[in-house]
Amino acid sequence: MMRFILLISLLFLSSYAETSDERLRVLEQRIAELESNQNDSSVNMTELESIVDNVERKSFTDMIDFTPEVRLRFDKMQYKVGQFEPTPTPGVDPDGKPIDRNRDDFSKSFDIASSVRFRLNMNANLLDELQFHGRFVFQHSTQSNERLCILSKNVKSSGSISGFDVDRAYFDYLMNTGSDYPFIFSFGVLPTSGGTPMQFSEERARQSVFPALVFDMDSYGVIFTSELSHLFDQQTFLRVVIAQAYTLDPSIYPYQCNRETIDNADIYGIYFDTKFTKNTLFSVGANLLNHFKAHPYLGPDVSAENSQILGSILTFGAGIDSENINNSGVTGFIHSAFSHGHSNGKVDDYGKGTDGNFTYSDYATGELIEDFGYSVYAGLLYDLSNYITFGVEYNYGSKYWFAATQGSEDMYNKLATRGHVSEGYLIWNLNRYLFTKVGYMYTQEEYTGSGWHFGEPIAKGGEQQVGYIQINASF
């Protein structure tokens, strides 16, 4: 009886193993031998159990597809800003000495900074209706040693830093697959960062099903997706997300002062996207961050001690992405979004001056911003040849613009900028798995508080220039 059970188990497991023709032939031969000898007491039970174990292990590993990707990057930055609080505001420091809150002229040419990022993607088709997706990320960088935080130019980490985290780990459960209205239920650590149109400058598929200008955060929760292609004669989806926002290991964002570390935020969003043509995607969506609580990401000297839930923020946006327009080699996109906050009257206060003399600036204190903010993001790419692509991008954020981009994969989180950002780059595809990219980005900050949700912005006039080169490999 034991031999019979093991034999049946072997046959069952082998039906799921994706082997080559040669492996399958060998396996069938071993099964035939076992069948002819199932009544022979000389059959080696240890060998039989070993075969069953190997088939079981092979059937499991064959379900999982591992795809690694590596990015090596070098950045050279220059920054300058004049006084952006022209009227002196008297005050006293912790020792009682008079001070004013003026910010002096500042300019610096930063050392070349290097970083390496490794990500391991995992995909598994467990059943016809059940899939798993995961991604580990590791980043090491020297940029923390010269992090620029204009509130306090001395707030930095020391030396190189490394971070490791999981930014994808979710299941897709497919329902009603045979009907006109299939449905997908997704749950876990969700794919809510790296959204469209950020994928064009990285030569890859979009990493999130949501537009980046509206919603580009790390989150865990659920996504409900209803396919409506039957109604529109093109690929069409309606999605609802209910999730909780969180922040990856801060060391993964090596050079950030225009994003916040999320302490709490409930996410409620609804999104619709459809293909106008085979290569043209229209997307529109609204996202609510409820009970939003976050503190500025300014290094280890700043904590969430003064952080409070200040209210909720609604963001609405729409955009069009069009690839290879009329087979011309031209790809273009344009997106726009609006943000509006609702304050509960509470105040975050980072303007008191800590032991490290963090800041005395008034704009580091205040309620959640309730004024309307807006942003536009546009880009154009042209294939100069089968291997070389030239791209230009531009984005603008208004005085009160707030971007829900705490999970942005962009190193400088440019979509959160209150001001103008222009970027140009050249991509050279060495082969289908490897490309190198050389670029230049110019940022003109019109107001303080880019990436912040509280405090009254002040006219700033900062300028940042970044030249970079990166090498990407992905499989």
pLDDT at 222: 98
H-helix or E-strand spanning residue 61:
helix 45-63
Contact 147/79 with Cβ under 8 angstroms? no
pLDDT reading at 166 higher than 70 = yes
pLDDT reading at 43 higher than 60 = no
pLDDT at 108: 80
DSSP secondary structure letter of residue 364 = G
pLDDT reading at 269 higher than 70 = yes
pLDDT at 121: 95
Q: Which amino acid is at 155?
A: V
Mean pLDDT of 348-364: 65
Pairing of strands 365-366, 373-383: unpaired
pLDDT at 365: 85
H-helix or E-strand spanning residue 29:
helix 21-36
pLDDT at 145: 58
pLDDT reading at 7 higher than 50 = no
pLDDT at 11: 40
3-class DSSP assignment, residue 53: helix
Domain locations in the chain?
Answer: 2-55, 68-474
Pairing of strands 388-397, 113-127: unpaired
Mean pLDDT of 75-99: 70
pLDDT at 16: 41
Q: Give 180-210 pLDDT, tens digit per residue.
A: 889 999 999 999 999 999 999 988 888 888 9
**57-71, 157-171, 438-452: range with lowest mean pLDDT:** 57-71
Residue 7 phi/psi, 5° resolution?
A: -65, -45
pLDDT at 389: 97
Record: fold of 68-474:
Porin (2.40.160)
Considering the chain, what is the average pLDDT of its residues?
Answer: 83
Distance CA 32, CA 30 (A): 5
Among residues of the chain, what percentage have pLDDT more than 90?
A: 53
Mean pLDDT of 367-371: 95
Q: Give 121-146 pLDDT, tens digit per residue.
A: 999 988 889 999 999 999 998 865 56
H-helix or E-strand spanning residue 171:
strand 161-175
State the angle between helix axes of 2-14 and 21-36 in degrees (0 to 180), rounded to the nearest 10: 160
Mean pLDDT of 50-63: 62
